[in-house]
Amino acid sequence: MTRFVQAGRAAGSRTRGAALAIICAAQTMFVLDAMVVTVALPRIQTGLGFSGPGLEWVVNAYALVFGGLLLLGSRCGDVFGRRRIFVLGLGLFTVASLAGGLAQSPWQLVAARALQAAGAAAASPATLSLLATTFPEGAGRGRAISIYTALGTAGGGIGLLAGGLITSVASWRWIMLVNVPFGIAIVALASRLLAEPARKPGRFDLPGAVTGTLGMTLLVFGLTRAAADSSGTVHWADPSVLPALGGGALLLGVFVLVEWRSRRPLLPLRLLAGRAKLGNYAAIVLFSMAMEGIAFFLTLFVQRSWHYSTMHTALIFLPMTALLVICSRASGPLLRRFGTRPVILGGLALAAAGVAWMSLMDSSGGYLTDLLVPSSLCYAGFGVAAPPMTVEALASVGERDAGIASGVYSCARQLGGAVGLALLGSITWSAVATHQLEVDPLSTGIRYGFLSAAALVVLAVAATVVGTLRRPAPST
């Protein structure tokens, strides 16, 4: 009898391992694809004849559609089945990748990027919810989330590295086409190996879906239009930015009121109830704001001030990406020993010190002391902090809310990245314009940008601390 029990446990472990591999592969592909085009943009512009402003939409189309449809995608998974929506979303992403790789004009590539994002917005929330239902709450889920978060957090660095390698040895088209065989394989395996969790039947909250999706779309549109482009131009004065941000904020306010009164809300507000939850989500947003801006401006700095090639730029992210993965994996044992909040605080404090050190870089600096050591502290801290944040986001969430909790987490990361790039871009390029008469105004601008990023990480520490404080007992 004991042998049968052990055999059953071993089979269950192998099945969970296969499910984790499928889920992580898909999520890494989604995150990676948001960044992989960054270092290939000059080749894309030459190959398809993009104008300068038009080239921005290769990046912005993905961010806009992905951010706008995340909550709706998570609700679709709850109603129609998370595995089904995961497979359909991944299928759309794969077809769109093929279309992007074969694009012959700018509008075709932008449309393909938008379809990629729509597929990712459907499938991405399902990845984390499938993980939550595959691994019961406890040590097993913590280890699985550490692996999932390590690969997801490292996706940006992997994307920059992959983009540099592919564009150096082959055509830019392969940054799209490489998704096709991987997408087909994941779809085939997911249909066989992933279990379908119980659905959450019910009607769509149509007013919530409309106000939430449009609000998110307008907000992400305004932020992506405001962010600095690769030439250093900031678009806050663009006439479309403030109306989009104001309209997005207004619609999201209406969305909250609709959800408060709805019997079947798109976003159950109970998921955000409590100081601990709100503090954790605030820390996730601030963490994402800093990380997105750091990756963008570090790439720009080494190419412009240190004159690194595309390939060399990609390679500098190799140790950072490795540290993200290693430290995310190491956070599992730390979680079991110290708990989530101390690990989050320690990781964020380490990251803040690394980012502040990186602000000292200038054109005469050296790779070892000015970049490798401080960036190692920064990315090690991010790697340690990310998994416990994800654990906190899913803590005490029942199976019926796993899909929407995953969507809220993804929204926090996506919006944080968009806000961070816009905010840090404005600070950096304003400083560059102010110090134009200096020998290296870009170094000065990026110093202000990195100091601002360090301040964001410190604010994430403060949000985590506030979330841990207990209310004083009422006096008698």
**Structure confidence at residue 346 (pLDDT):** 93
What single letter denotes the amino acid at residue 415? L
Q: What is the mean pLDDT of residues 104-113?
A: 93
pLDDT tens-place string over residues 350-407: 999 999 999 988 888 788 888 999 999 999 999 899 888 888 887 777 666 666 777 7
Least confident range from 73-77, 253-257, 310-314, 421-425: namely 310-314
The listed range with the strongest mean pLDDT (3-7, 258-262, 422-426) is 258-262
- CA dist., res. 114 & res. 92, Å (int): 11
- CA dist., res. 38 & res. 405, Å (int): 29
Q: What is the mean pLDDT of residues 154-169?
A: 72
Q: What is the mean pLDDT of residues 311-315?
A: 77
**269-468 under CATH 3.40.50.150, yes or no:** no
**Structure confidence at residue 138 (pLDDT):** 67
- CA dist., res. 448 & res. 451, Å (int): 5
Give 180's contacts (C-beta < 8 A, 6+ positions apart).
94, 97, 98, 101
Fold match, 12-201 / 269-468: yes
pLDDT tens-place string over residues 121-133: 888 888 877 887 7
CB 233 within 8 A of CB 424: no
State yes or no: pLDDT of 115 exceeds 90: yes
**Structure confidence at residue 199 (pLDDT):** 66
The listed range with the strongest mean pLDDT (166-175, 222-231, 448-457) is 448-457
Q: How confident is the model at residue 6 (pLDDT cuts 50, 70, 90)?
A: very low
- CA dist., res. 56 & res. 36, Å (int): 14
Q: How confident is the model at residue 218 (pLDDT cuts 50, 70, 90)?
A: confident
Q: Of 52 and 172, which is predicted with more confidence?
A: 172
Least confident range from 16-30, 194-208, 249-263, 321-335: namely 194-208
pLDDT tens-place string over residues 63-93: 778 877 888 887 787 778 888 899 999 999 9
State yes or no: pLDDT of 7 exceeds 50: no
Q: Hunting for tokens 């090690």 — which residue is that?
A: 380
Question: Residues for the chain: how many in total?
Answer: 476
> At 262, phi and psi to the nearest 5?
-75, 145
Least confident range from 248-262, 389-403, 456-470: namely 389-403
CB 350 within 8 A of CB 380: yes
Least confident range from 68-82, 124-138, 252-266, 424-438: namely 124-138
State yes or no: pLDDT of 328 exceeds 70: yes
Q: What is the mean pLDDT of residues 222-226?
A: 79
- CA dist., res. 354 & res. 437, Å (int): 29
Q: How confident is the model at residue 9 (pLDDT cuts 50, 70, 90)?
A: very low
State yes or no: pLDDT of 148 exceeds 60: yes
Give 146's contacts (C-beta < 8 A, 6+ positions apart).
328, 329, 331, 332, 335, 387
Task: List the domain boundaries for the chain.
Answer: 12-201, 205-220+236-265, 269-468
State yes or no: pLDDT of 13 exceeds 70: no
> At 340, phi and psi to the nearest 5?
-70, -50
CB 454 within 8 A of CB 263: no
The DSSP-derived string for 181-203 is HHHHHHHHHHHHH---PPP----
Give 101's contacts (C-beta < 8 A, 6+ positions apart).
173, 174, 176, 177, 180
Q: Average pLDDT over the chain, rounded to whole?
A: 81
Percentage of the chain surpassing pLDDT 90? 21
Is 227 in a helix, a strand, or coil? coil
State yes or no: pLDDT of 50 exceeds 70: yes
Q: Looking at domain 12-201, what is its CATH homologous superfamily?
A: MFS general substrate transporter like domains (1.20.1250.20)
Q: How many CB atoms lie within 10 A of CB 367?
A: 14
Sign of the C-alpha dihedral computed for residues 139, 143, 145 and 150 taken in this order? positive
Q: How confident is the model at residue 316 (pLDDT cuts 50, 70, 90)?
A: confident
> At 205, phi and psi to the nearest 5?
-80, 85
CB 356 within 8 A of CB 455: no
**Structure confidence at residue 4 (pLDDT):** 28
Q: How many CB atoms lie within 10 A of CB 353?
A: 16
Q: What is the mean pLDDT of residues 7-25?
A: 66
**Structure confidence at residue 156 (pLDDT):** 64
> At 306, phi and psi to the nearest 5?
-100, -5
**Structure confidence at residue 139 (pLDDT):** 67
Q: How confident is the model at residue 198 (pLDDT cuts 50, 70, 90)?
A: low
**Structure confidence at residue 229 (pLDDT):** 61
**Structure confidence at residue 298 (pLDDT):** 83
Q: Which helix (H) or strand (E) holds 305?
A: none
